Amino acid sequence: MNVQNKVMVVTGGGSGIGRELVMQLLAKGARVAAIDINEASLQETAELAGANKSKLSTHIVNIADKTAVDQLPQQVIDAHGQVDGLINNAGIIQPFVRVSELEYGAIERVMNVNFYGVLYMTKAFLPHFKTRPVAHIINVSSMGGFLPVPGQTIYGAAKAAVKLFTEGLRSELLDTNVKVTVVFPGAIGTNIAQNSGLDQRAMEQEAGGDQPSIKPLPANKAAEIIINGIEKDSYRVLVGSDARLMDFLYRLAPKFAANFIYKQMKSLL
């Protein structure tokens, strides 16, 4: 789907990949509804939009709140006259601890944002997409959604749910005007740890300064790859050389790949 003159909804639009998606979609001639729970971050995104600010609307919403999400489609239509696409990008990680040490409150928060938020947004907007000549739903899973990452097991479970939900949704919509794409980012240079309520400095101190050797992909490059996938109507989009490598290794030798990632990540446990 060519994004020019389309109205795109982007969750997590206040920072990271989400903000970059907003900026690049606007630059390509789309109108954008940016969704985020953080009002200050959304305001900063709006200011960064510059001359394209008139094509941007901002909506302060907790995507894990079904009632609030149900009201969003009409708000977007009121602001832009239509709605053509949804990028479910917002997500949070869990504390880097084993499942045995993870509190149920953290588990529920991760599942509510990462899976139920995607589900609520998709179900709220899908009826409107079916009325459009063409529409597109893009759900951001993770490399951790197809590969076990120790210390992020619940996050991975939520992202694995997003993966299969998206693939199943695509199959259900094959004979319709609605396209569906699943995205698998690897390590991306964002502030997801801070946005997840985690102390990044404390995590680094606990790891003794020994950080994983994976070099994060810049968020603007990740957004560019995702938008390119949208415009090509891609089935799946792998974002970053690490995601591409581990996708290949995990399908070829899953135990080897799982052990490899453990060695890369064990310093954070």
Residues recognised as catalytic: 155
**90 touches 120 (CB < 8 A):** no
- Quickly list H helices, 173-253: 192-195, 200-206, 219-231, 241-252
Q: Kindly state the DSSP code that residue 1 receives in the 8-state scheme.
A: -
Question: Residue length, the chain?
Answer: 269
Q: Which residue has the tokens 């894990």?
A: 64
Strands ordered across the beta sheet of 56-60: 56-60, 31-36, 7-11, 85-88, 135-140, 178-185, 236-239
Q: Cα–Cα distance between 151 and 113 in angstroms, integer?
A: 18
CA distances (Å), origin 227, targets 33, 80, 97, 133, 196: 16, 20, 33, 19, 25
What are φ and ψ of residue 196, in 5° steps?
Answer: -90, 0
- DSSP per position, 115-147: IIHHHHHHHHHHHHHTTSSSEEEEEE--GGGTS
